[in-house]
Amino acid sequence: MGFDLLFGAVAEVMSSGSLIYVFIGVTLGLCFGVIPGLGGTTALALLIPVTYSMEPLDAMYLAGGVMGATSFGGSITAILINTPGTAPNAATTFDGYPLAQQGKAGLAIGASATASAMGGLIGLFTLLLFIPLAKEIVLLFGPAEFLLLTLLGLTAIAISARGKLLRGLIAGGLGLFLAFVGTDMITGEERYTMDFNYLWDGIPLVPTLTGMFAISQMIELALKGGSVASGGDDGITRRITDLWSGVAAVFRHWTVLLRGSVIGTIIGAIPGLGGTVASFIAYTSTVQASREPESFGKGNIVGVIAPESANNAKDGGSLVPTVAFGIPGSAETALFLGILVLHGIDPGPTILLDNEREIYGLIVALTLSAVGASIIGLLLARWLVLITFVNVHILVPVVIAVSLTGVYVLEGKPGDVILTLIMGILGYIMIRFDYPRLTLVIALVLGDTAERSFHMTQMISDNQMWSFMLGRPASVILIVATLLTFFLPFARKLISRRARQGA
Amino acid sequence: MKCKWIGSSLLAVMVAFAANPAAAEWPNDKPIKFIIPYSPGGGFDTIVRAFVPALEKALGAEVVPENIPGAGGTKGAATVARAAPDGYTIGIYNMPGFTVSTLTGKDLGFELDKVTWLANLATESYGIAVKGDSPIKTFKDLCSQGRPAKLSDTGASSTSSIVAKISFQLIDCPLVNVTGYKGSKGAMIAVMRGEVDGTLKPVSSLGKYADSGDLRIIATYTDKAMVDGAAATGEIGYGELSKFNLRRLIAAPPGLPDDIRKRLSDALLEAANSAEIKEWAAKAGVTLDPVDSDGAAKMVSEIDGFYGQYKDFVAAK
């Protein structure tokens, strides 16, 4: 049934002149994605007033175009200059940037483009399949499951810091500490705000991430000099020949693609966790499942495919709560619902019945956008790669100026700019002393949810948390997953040692 | 579509000039900013957007809604209170929300008793909703389960949380208020999930989810029944509870000249009494309660007195 409506929506977008809105959205989304500090949320927030005078359906096409294109745009920056263009691309830097340094940026961009497009398609396909069950899926995840998911995420931190466990834990601990800053959700007390009103709402994600990655990376580059791909050896040519082998790599590693997409869809469907966590968990689980985990972080193409497929698949997932109850699954879907409100549509539990055209219009636009952005990206890759050969004296000021502007535009708070700079310096110190930066960011994201859902679970279970969780199937699955994540590496080590002894 | 909109506002401006050639430049110098201290989509946003066309017609001037969310609505409210008192900035205020905030000792960034009150647009009653298939049928069922009733809510200092805590204590009903849910919709979904017994929210917010059968309203904080199947607290012996409600008041900066205050107030009332707005309110389940400038000021001082009684309770949380 869902598919009939989908075909109707496809026919509608093709037959009218509305395709142009999808195209404008994709172009805007790519640009906002590429620029660090700006992302899909900023693009949509700036677009809201523009859509006021448009037909609701055209506004959906525009929004879908933007949403589907930003995360691929962001991967380009992540790969080329080690700076995630949008928050969810942070995990892509781990292996994307080493590839660029080795002169294989084309391979990485090819893989990222394909993984984004395929991930987007898989996510939306899953959404269409599960629309009839959307309500049940949303009701499956209560505070107990939120708490367990954050624990799973925090466990993944320890795993991701392979070989640098202590440093990973220190960075994670610092992130958790930062997550405590702000008003306590349960008691309303202020914590560690040091009488700054700015800190009332806590430490915001986008300025932290932009500082940690964009600013610190620019400091690093400026001090090093040269250009990104001037790693010293002269063997690097400016031609990109690997683009298509990047595309092929995605299909060769189809299990990675599928796992990334499934993780992206599931985490996308859970309001509040978002793409950064989705791509991080996709990355760590891929490292874990790999037979040669030590090859990651040095330019393993699989390390690009996993987070990028999760990234785009989460858009499909984040529409699950939207079609079920008219609530947003992500910051982008919140703005999408905002656009509906501006057009006099108040989203509620019957949104799928009342606003069928808009929802399916958005799904079609997202699909076209995921594929379209990747095609545009593949076509432009040849020129984009030249960025890695630009002298840092030109690159650094441009990136710093643009990302600080981006951070300011999002909420219009000068405090965000100052925080970005502070985080930039902290990030640079972490680069120098080899501490993982994403670990801090992930802990910051998870800390707030973890604490809140811990208190909530305590209250709803009458302080019988453990037996309460064991009575919920989704919770039990998450507990098992967390235990596996934690013990699998040890078990594997043990097995390989036994095997070696046996031989 | 844009051209049509510019055309009609131009026409409105021209009509206003023709009808009132001797009037001062206000309100036609520039558009009037109508500040909404919350993000698009909530009750305050919806009512402002519904009122703007009718208000433009009544004033003969351009009115532009602007969302300034942040700090629980105090950022937008402070923007209004600090603007120049020239009649070009007005805003919608959440009462008793801001009164409750001051009682908890929060610094609003402006003085609530100094702002100029223009009108009250709507008064929303609170209702308690349980899961669609819950065995709980009445308020009494909710309170006599052998354990405290569990309600879901957003923040511990949100208006509905405070109302829940005060009102349940007034009727001696033990309560565990589970806070931390994202938005009022998040709190309602917690009820559907079954982890709490119910939630206390304005009836207009509950309506859609009650219509779809996901929730069922068991009681409303009113004197007379307003929802089928839900008892009015006034009729089940909890008369004092109907004093708790949510008012959507319009305010302007302190020191607004009297003539402008009068004209804005009249225009707001004219809009509230127009056929379009009445029709919209009926459809959206909003209870219009138009009150003029003086009445609104009186309302605010009553709210102050009423919640002042519970000052210690609110401050202790």
Average pLDDT, chain A: 85
pLDDT at A19: 86
**Can you tell me the ipTM of this complex?**
0.77
Q: Does the pLDDT value for residue A323 go beyond 80?
A: yes
Q: B41 and A200: CB-CB below 8 Å?
A: no
At residue A418, the pLDDT reads 95
Look at A125-139, A181-195, A272-286, B82-96 and tell me which has the smallest mean pLDDT.
A181-195
Shortest Cα–Cα distance, B284 to chain A (Å) = 9
> What phi and psi, each to the nearest 5 degrees, are found at residue A417?
-65, -45
Residue B168 pLDDT exceeds 50? yes
Domain(s) labelled CATH 3.40.190.150 in chain B stretch across 2-14+29-123+245-316
pLDDT at A503: 54
- With CB atoms and an 8 Å threshold, state whether A271 touches B49: no
How many Å apart are CA A26 and CA A67, to the nearest integer? 8
- Mean pLDDT check: name the lowest of A145-159, B169-183, B263-277: A145-159
Specify the pairing of strand B116-131 against strand B215-220: antiparallel
Interval B51-99: pLDDT, tens: 999 999 999 889 988 888 877 788 889 999 999 999 999 999 988 888 8
Q: Suggest the residue from B179, B184, B199 to mutate for an interface test with chain A (most A CBs closer than 10 A).
A: B179
DSSP state string for A148-184: HHHHHHHHHHHHHSTT-HHHHHHHHHHHHHHHT-EE-
**Contact (Cβ atoms closer than 8 angstroms) between residue A317 and residue A265:** yes
Q: How far away is chain A from the Cα of B156, in angstroms, using its nearest Cα?
A: 6
pLDDT classification of B2: cutoffs 50, 70, 90: very low
Q: pLDDT grade, residue B9 (50/70/90)?
A: low
User: What superfamily would CATH give domain B125-243?
Assistant: Periplasmic binding protein-like II (3.40.190.10)
Q: HSE of A28 in the Cβ direction (CA atoms, 13 Å)?
A: 21
State the smallest CA–CA distance between residue A107 and chain B in angstroms.
41
Quote the CA–CA distance of A293 and A150 in Å, as a whole number: 23
- Check residue B176 and give its pLDDT: 92
Listed in order, the ranges of chain B carrying CATH 3.40.190.10 are 125-243
B288 three-class SS: strand
Residue of chain B whose Cα is closest to the Cα of A335: B40
Token code pair at residue B4? 């049509």
B104 chain-A contacts, CB cut-off 8 A: 188
**B174 near A CB under 8 A:** no
Closest by Cβ to B195, choosing from A142, A349, A350: A142
- CB proximity A327 to B under 8 Å: yes
Q: How close does chain A come to B164, measured CA to CA in Å? A: 15
| Angstrom distance (rounded) from CA A320 to CA A21 | 24
Distance from CA of B169 to the nearest CA of A (A): 19
- Beta carbons of B178 and A139 less than 8 Å apart: no
Cβ separation A462–B45 shorter than 8 A: no
In which band, very low, low, confident or very high, does the pLDDT at A240 lie, cut at 50, 70 and 90? low
Give me the residue from A139, A346, A456 closest to B178, CB to CB: A456
Element (H, E) at B301: helix B293-308
CATH 3.40.190.150 assigned to domain B2-14+29-123+245-316? The reply is: yes
| Range in A78-82, A272-276, A315-319, A437-441 the model is least confident about | A272-276
Q: Is A185 on the interface with B (CB under 8 A)?
A: yes
Of the candidates B41, B157, B214, which has its C-beta nearest A349's C-beta? B214
Beta bridge partners of B152: B178
Question: Is residue B181 within 8 angstroms of chain A, CB to CB?
Answer: yes
User: Each residue of A482-492: pLDDT tens digit?
Assistant: 888 788 777 77
Average of per-residue pLDDT across A10-18: 78
- Say which of A142, A188, A338 has its CB closest to residue B40: A338
Q: Where are the domains of chain A?
A: 2-496
Comparing CB atoms, the residue among A185, A347, A348 nearest residue B155 is: A185
Closest chain A residue to B198 measured between Cα atoms?
A: A460
pLDDT at residue A162 above 80? no
pLDDT in tens, B172-227: 999 999 988 887 888 999 999 999 999 999 998 898 889 889 999 999 999 988 88
